[in-house]
Amino acid sequence: MEHKAVGGITFSIPDGEFAAIMGPSGSGKTTLGQLAAGLLMPETGLVYVDHIPTSSRKKRFDISNKVAYVSQFPEHQLFEETVFRDIRYGLRRKKYSEREITAKVKDAMECVGLSFEAYKDRSPFQLSGGEQRRVALAGAVVLEPKILILDEPTAGLDPLTRGKFLALLTVLQRTKHMTIVCITHHLQDALEYADRLVILNNGRLVYDLKPAEIRCALEDPAIALSPTPLLRFRKELESFFPGKIDSELVQENKLLAFLTDRLMRTLGDES
């Protein structure tokens, strides 16, 4: 019954990058994320976290301080009676005073958009799905990791909440200088927020590209990626503006800016 989840993969993610790991179900995305976090050890090959091999038993504590992993359906990780106690849990073994712990929990909560006073004494099990995701994220952020790995963090969330959550990750990337690795099925989310798309298939890395280069992956029949509504709209625009649609226009804000500019030019010509 043995099955090789991933194999023959070699790549690196530089500091401060937002990388989206994509691919069909069973392609090895979750396994790759757990290998990167040091939760799984490779049978062959090496995985490095900030130049430290995850196989090094002497450096396990250093690795755990550098990388935080948020699993799929992170609300399943919540178990304490209050939001405050859940978020502070990871700080137990660190030699912080109660005042320092409170300050760190407050900062983490505010980073993920949760009011400290409004949420600290509430039960995490009485929160909405989006709020629970934020609590789980705060539990990772409070550890001040250099690398944050998230496995399908927006699964089950409505589009508005999903967009807010991903926008929050980009804020953490910018303000905390974190490297974000997000495993996702949502192509448009990856195009909107990621700096880079790493696409797996059958346990192997088949594409490593920038969002603007997504067309080559979409044209590959072996990869089960369907064009998003925005990409289909972009393709229609190419028939109206031949040769004028830049390859970078795969994000909603850039496409809207292009259309607004064209509309203003048209109105200016008519006047």
**Domains of the chain by range and CATH?**
18-226 (3.40.50.300), 227-271 (no CATH)
Where do runs of H (alpha helix) occur along the chain?
Answer: 29-36, 60-66, 83-88, 98-111, 116-119, 129-141, 159-175, 187-193, 215-218, 229-240, 252-270
pLDDT tens for residues 87-138?
A: 999 888 788 899 999 999 999 999 888 999 999 999 999 998 888 988 999 9
Residues 29 and 23: their CA atoms lie apart, in Å, by 7
Q: Calculate the alpha carbon distances from 211 to 100, 167, 231 in Å.
A: 41, 17, 11
8 Å CB contact between 176 and 104: no
- The residue ranking higher by pLDDT, 195 or 242, is 195
* pTM of structure: 0.85
Per residue in 154-175, pLDDT tens?
887 888 888 888 998 999 899 8
